[in-house]
Amino acid sequence: MRTRTSGKRPRVNRITNEGHILEEIIANYVIKPSVTDFGARLQGSNSWHLVNNHDFHGVLVEKNPKSCEKLRNHVPNAEVHAELVTLENCNDFVNDDTGILCIDIDGNDYHIWKAIKASPDVVVIEFGRKKSIKRKNGEVDDLWIPEYIEESPKRFDGASEEALMNLAKTKGYRLYGKNSVNLIFLHERLHSTAKAS
């Protein structure tokens, strides 16, 4: 999960910095103190902040071995897995104790979230902007796209914002905030955990 900012204000939340949005959620709702990050990186990492400054349990999954070494050195209290996230293994890293799930794997984000059986409190997911695989109705193709997992010039951004919004509804989530690249969803059950101000 990488923090990126945008000059445009989201419709659903006044904050455009992803880290600030997560801070606001943690301050206002009871979130399970565990983060799973698919496509984890050290640079601009909200997972690093959650593990090191909020004592979250961290499960960081990244296919690049060099990136994993950096993660192990700088986030020593997290589990770091040097693996490619697939439909077959994605549920090995997410369970009912997962508070925040971050998906930023440059392509198959939609398919991975669709395959996840657990319902984390918060889902941060990257949406496509230019080369999105989508149909006119906003839905993505049902099949896993092999090109997504190859290092090639045919790199796609992933699903459209509309497709992810539709998927979120089927899973019981509502949009809480967004920036230029990520949507942040809150599970509907968290309404009952809102902290008194």
Please tell me the distance from the alpha carbon of residue 138 to that of residue 160, in angstroms, as a whole number.
7
Q: Rounded to 5 degrees, what are φ and ψ at 124?
A: -110, 120
Does residue 3 carry a pLDDT above 50? Answer: no
The residue-averaged pLDDT of 169-183 equals: 93
Please tell me the distance from the alpha carbon of residue 178 to that of residue 176, in angstroms, as a whole number.
7
Confidence class of residue 107 from pLDDT cuts 50, 70 and 90?
Answer: confident
Residue 144: what pLDDT? 54
CATH number for 18-193 (one of 3.30.70.2740, 3.40.50.150, 3.20.20.450, 3.10.129.10): it is 3.40.50.150
* Predicted confidence (pLDDT) per residue in 108-151, tens digit: 888 899 999 999 999 999 887 654 445 544 455 444 555 444 44
Does residue 29 carry a pLDDT above 80? Answer: yes
Please tell me the distance from the alpha carbon of residue 61 to that of residue 37, in angstroms, as a whole number.
6
Domain ranges of the chain: 18-193
Residue 160: what pLDDT? 81
User: 161 versus 91: which is more confidently predicted?
Assistant: 91
Please tell me the distance from the alpha carbon of residue 81 to that of residue 71, in angstroms, as a whole number.
10
Q: Catalogue the E-assigned strands of 68-172.
A: 79-81, 100-103, 122-126
